[in-house]
Chain A
Amino acid sequence: MQAARDPAQFLSQLLIGITNGSIIALIALGYTLVYGIIELINFAHGDNFMIGSFVGLTVLSGTFFGIGLFAPITDESGLLLKALGVGMAMLAAMAVCGLLGVGIERVAYKPLRNSPRLAVLITAIGMSFILQNVGLLWKGPAQVPFPDLISGANLLDSGEIVFRYKDLFVIAVTVPLLLALSYFVQNTKQGKAMRAVAQDKEAAAMVGIDVDRTISVTFLLGGMLAGASGVMYGLFNGITVFNVGFTQGLFAFTAAVLGGIGNLTGAVVGGILIGVIAAMSDQYIGVRWTEIMIFAVLILVIVFRPRGLLGDRSAVQGGGE
């Protein structure tokens, strides 16, 4: 009703939803990759994303635990410096989160590979709490502002529909990352190994695939995407906070389940859908009901269609049963 009365507002919200959805989709990919390969809900993944946003903030502010390394990059800096800073922040966050993902797998999940499924889930929750506490000690309990580097000006001169440079930035970063991931999984030897391990660990080991290494690579990829996503989240929303990983992580997990866990395309579709649902709920129901809406979606999907929208039970596309 309201949407019909003000179509421009509706379209603007839709665009914001798609942008936010891209950020969520990148996190959701990490959940889906890991689930596809070892059937574990990597509870600490959302907190890895939070660490990514903190690493990006550290690079941009140029200070590490109070030690000034270089002058902070602010919105007064030149365009080249801004681009360089954002690029560096992205790379640093991707590197740190990728390695963190691998480290967590080595310490907390690998020793339990033959244990009951829930034992591993419990260590994952433990890791999530540890990372949250690291974030709390690093930046304190309050929300931390992110430098406002990317203009919030409207790209479209019509003025009715809002599509900002910020939104363009998120889309421009997300699409190449998705294409790169898709290329990696489809066309490289390591990607093929991932698909094989996802289908059958024992058989993959028999034909000479290093299963442990493949699992590490999966965690590395998921972590890198979460790191990129974390920096973008900070730049896009202008804030980050130590427990942002919990809610964003749950949103992303919802997206992964909605798309069909284990399905890469599904994770992206689910992420965009969740972003749009959240934006619409913000606009037409009320911001404080948004989280409840998303959790309700999560429960409804799991109860009525656990396979998700695009889910076949194969882990990575191209896989069979």
Chain B
Amino acid sequence: MLRRYALPASLIAAALVLPFVDRALGTDFLFTAIVVAVFVLLALGLNIVVGFAGLLDLGFVAFYALGAYVCGWLASTHFRQVSFSLGSTARSLTGEPLPGIHISFWLILIIAAAFTALCGVIIGAPTLRLRGDYLAIVTLGFGEIIPRFFLNGDNLFGFNLTNGTIGIKAIDAPGIPFVPFESWQRFSQLDLSPWYYTILALVLLTVFVNVRLQNSRLGRAWISVREDETAAAAMGINPVTTKLWAYALGAVFGGIAGAFYGAFIKNIFPTSFSFSISILILCMVILGGMGNIYGVILGAIVLQAINRYLLPQLNDLVHALGDALGSEALSQADIPKYNFLLFGLLLVLVMLLRPEGLIPNRQRAEELHDEDPSTGDAMGGPARA
């Protein structure tokens, strides 16, 4: 009992005291921690789709974008035509009613989750009958359409839905009224700890859902459909419904992450939801270990660390080296340019050398090292003849 809960409990405790440690050391680490946590949330959402149900989704960024835009629409002055407030922290200075829709952030999280789940079902229902690689391409198409739609949606028959390239600005801050702490009544950029605890709570909720799903009826149904759809169907599991649940649940967490991100960053625009984000999240899941919750969290942290710390550090290091050696090429080298190369190499190498990831899910590892091609396809679909 004690041993089983020792690791998760210590990890949660470490996460809880992080802001205090950060303040004591004065490292200004919280902003990064929040961004990493958003990606952990996204990776956990995608893990349900890819890791548990074995459906490759190349357009996961679409749900992230939808969540962020739901947050933008419901908590900013974007829809000037109407004025509606509900439990929001936004106050007008003049006492006039505020233009636009302003709904409490906590409600928006629920609305965004429901909305993205609905979108997931709409997209998933007709496509989940397809074979794995076709499904991957459909999700990719969907993931390409959504940001482009946001980009072009500033004039839909004269109606400005998404404000085009400018995006939605000045999104309301979340807040909890009636609490005695000033910083919690309205989250600000001065004290990041309320943001941090909010996203931590969301991540823990997601982990809890992931853990509970793994051995539930649904989780087992996912494994069986992933292993052999025909056999699963013969045993009375409806493959389409089962996959649809995975898709919708994954979408929910993508949407929640998007809504939080929108409120946190305050300004959202379509270019921040590119295909490379989808691939980044996929890399996190694959590198960490598909279907393993610790693995996915580790993958997200490692890749974000590479992105935010290692590459800039490497950049400085190479420049210093170039100056020391008097090499023009090295001192001018622009390491962030190699970002794509890094992710490409990572995907190829992980798939060739250790397809089960850093911390493998035992079951998945066995499937991926199954050299006998006659026993079916570990990621959905029949064996390749």
Contact = CB atoms under 8 A, between A and B. Distances in A.
Contact of B347 (A129, A296, A298): A129
Contacts of A118: 54, 56, 132-133, 136, 379-380
A175 interface: no
B84 interface: no
A132 B339 CA distance: 11
Contact of B355 (A115, A129, A250, A257): A115
A117 B133 contact: yes
Contacts of B130: 302-303, 306
B331 to A, nearest CB: 17
Among A250, A295, A296, which residue has the most Cβ atoms of chain B within 10 A? A295
Nearest to B376: A116
B351 interface: yes
B243 to A, nearest CB: 14
Given A118-B136, A123-B351, A129 B279 contact: yes
A128 interface: yes
B345 A250 contact: no
A125 B145 contact: no
Given A114-B384, A298-B137, A119 B337 contact: no
Nearest to B126: A303
A285 B127 CA distance: 27
A130 interface: yes
Interface string B128-145: 001111101110111011
A202 B385 contact: yes
Interface residues of A, number: 47
Contact of B343 (A112, A120, A123, A129): A129
B152 A126 contact: no
A153 interface: no
Interface in B126-183: 126-127, 130-134, 136-138, 140-142, 144-145, 148-149, 151-152
A116 B348 contact: no
Given A123-B351, A250-B144, A302-B130, A130 B138 contact: no
Chain A contact residues: helix, strand, loop or mixed: helix
Nearest to B135: A302
A292 B148 contact: yes
A137 B339 CA distance: 11
A231 B353 CA distance: 36
Nearest to B127: A303
A111 B148 contact: no
A202 B383 CA distance: 14
Contact of A41 (B133, B145, B275, B367): B133
B60 to A, nearest CB: 13
B208 interface: no
Nearest to A132: B340
Interface of A: 39-41, 107-108, 111-112, 114-123, 125-134, 136-137, 200-202, 246, 250, 253, 257, 288-289, 291-292, 295-296, 298-299, 302-303, 306
Given A118-B379, A121-B132, A295-B144, 14 more contacts: A112-B351, A118-B136, A121-B136, A123-B348, A123-B351, A126-B343, A126-B348, A130-B340, A131-B344, A298-B137, A299-B142, A299-B145, A302-B130, A303-B126
21 contacts: A40-B133, A111-B352, A114-B373, A116-B380, A117-B377, A119-B351, A121-B132, A121-B133, A122-B347, A122-B351, A125-B58, A125-B279, A126-B345, A128-B344, A133-B339, A134-B341, A136-B337, A288-B151, A289-B152, A295-B148, A302-B137
